[in-house]
Amino acid sequence: MDTKIELHMCANPDYLCVARAVARQVAQISRLKKKETEQITLAVVEALTNVIRHSYGGPCDKPIVIKFNKIKCPDEKKMALEIVIRDFGKRVDPKTIEGRDLDEIRPGGVGVHIMQSVMDKTEFKQAEGSGMLLRMIKYIE
């Protein structure tokens, strides 16, 4: 049976623990191993933190929608966990979203690099109407 979970939360760091708990449980139900489960949990938190900080400019009551789907990848012919995160904040050109140079030792700016490192695919798009849409894929081995 496909995993289809949709979580609606406001852009408040108080609820990051809720998103984390849901991500962990969905990954476990999707039969991902412990290491992959923690990687997915980390990617979800990094994505939500970026939405709160950059799309909405800080904690607020505006919505974030997180969808978890267990899918069959048509190109790869294997199962994967797909996570889609939609916000309704600032729209940016997806080409400008990239990790910074890691040789520079300073705090912050590594969220995108972490997401890209721990997930098999990450793709940013401008959502219809307003905001951004992030699609992340983790293959189930």
Would you tell me which residues interact with another protein (CB under 8 A)?
A: 13-14, 16-17, 20, 35, 38, 41-42, 45-46, 49, 52-53, 102, 105-108, 110-111, 113-114, 117-118
- Closest separation in Å from C-beta 123 to another protein: 19
Task: Quote the least distance from Cβ 106 to another protein, whole Å.
Answer: 7
Distance CA 65, CA 104 (A): 33
DSSP of 29-58: HTT--HHHHHHHHHHHHHHHHHIIIIISSS
With respect to another protein, which residue has the nearer C-beta, 110 or 133?
110
Alpha helices in the chain (DSSP H): 16-29, 34-50, 111-118
Closer CB to another protein, 47 or 132, in the complex: 47
Pick between residue 115 and residue 132 the one whose CB is nearest to another protein.
115
Find, among 67, 61, 133, the residue nearest to 97 by Cα: 133
